[in-house]
Structure 1
Amino acid sequence: MILEPSIDKLQTKINSKYTLVTLAAKRARQIQDTKMHQVETPRAATFVGLALEEILEEKLTVDPEYKMINE
C-alpha cells in the first residue's frame, strides 16, 4: 500500500519531519472539528490525509520565524 502524498513530496514543502507531523496533526483536528478543508478535490479518506494534501498544495504552511517555546 502506497500512501499519498509521499513523504518525499511533502518534505519539499516543509523540510522538518517533526514540523510536518505536528502541523498535520493540529490541522487534522481542526478539520475534524469544523468539517471544513481547503482542498478542491480531496483524494484522502482521513483527516490527516486531508491535512497532508493541504500542505502539498501549499494551502497550509509554517511561518519560517516560528519557534517552539517550552513552558
Structure 2
Amino acid sequence: MILEPSIDKLQSKINSKYTLVTLAARRARQIQDTNVHQLESHDSATCVGIALEEILAEKLTVDPASEGQED
C-alpha cells in the first residue's frame, strides 16, 4: 500500500515531522466533526488523507517561528 501524498512532498511544505503529524491530526478531527474541507476535489477517502492533501495544496500552513513548538 502506497500512501499519498508522500512524506517527502509533505516535508517540502512543513519541515518538522512532529508538526506535520500534529497539524494533520488536528485538521482531520475538524474535518470529521464538521464534514467541511478546503479542497475542491480530493483523492483520499479518510479525514487524515484529506488533511494531508490540504497541507500539500498549501491550504494549511504553519508559522515558521512556531514550527516544532508544542502548544
Q: Same fold (TM over 0.5)?
A: yes
Kindly indicate whether structure 1 or structure 2 has the higher relative contact order, using CA contacts under 8 Å at least 6 residues apart.
Answer: 2
Higher Cα radius of gyration: 1
Q: Which runs of 5+ in 2 are unaligned?
A: none
- Normalised TM-score (structure 1): 0.92
AA in 2 matched with 1:21: V
The DSSP-based 3-state class of the residue aligned with 2:58 is coil
- After TM superposition, list the pairs within 5 Å mapping 1:1-71 onto structure 2: 1-66=1-66, 67-69=69-71
- Normalised TM-score (structure 2): 0.92
The DSSP-based 3-state class of the residue aligned with 2:9 is helix
The DSSP-based 3-state class of the residue aligned with 1:18 is helix
Q: Which runs of 5+ in 1 are unaligned?
A: none
Deviation at 1:56, TM superposition (A): 0.1
Superposed CA offset, 1:6-49 (max 9, x none):
00000000011000000000000000011000111110000000
**Structure 2 CA distance for aligned equivalents of residues 35 and 51 of structure 1:** 12
Aligned residue pairs: how many? 69
Please tell me the root mean square deviation across aligned C-alpha atoms, in Å.
Answer: 0.9
